């Protein structure tokens, strides 16, 4: 996400000819987009994004179970 924001900022600065980006080549300005594509390809190929999503879902599930146990008056297990 940071690479996309950086790419958009550089692209706007280059287009409007503001600051240091006005002197940069378009290859440098557009390179954050290529890096973002490479990052997403790596993250999807290695399962990084899926593991993060599963970890978030497991945490939500555990939080929900803990809230329900507290509502029933049962002590929760702490890891």
* pLDDT, tens digit (0-9, with 9 covering 90-100), for 13-69: 999 999 898 899 999 999 999 999 999 999 989 998 889 899 999 999 999 999 999
Is 4 within 8 Å of 32 (Cβ atoms)?
yes
**23 HSE (CA, 13 A, CB side):** 2
The predicted model scores a pTM of 0.65
């Amino acid at each position: 996400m940071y690479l996309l924001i950086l790419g958009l900022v550089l692209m706007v600065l280059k287009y409007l000819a503001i600051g240091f980006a006005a002197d940069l080549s378009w290859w440098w300005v557009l390179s954050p987009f290529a890096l973002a594509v490479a990052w997403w390809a790596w993250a999807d190929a290695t399962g990084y994004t899926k593991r993060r999503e599963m970890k978030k879902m497991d945490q939500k599930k555990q939080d929900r179970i803990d809230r329900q146990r507290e509502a029933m008056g049962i002590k929760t297990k702490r890891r």
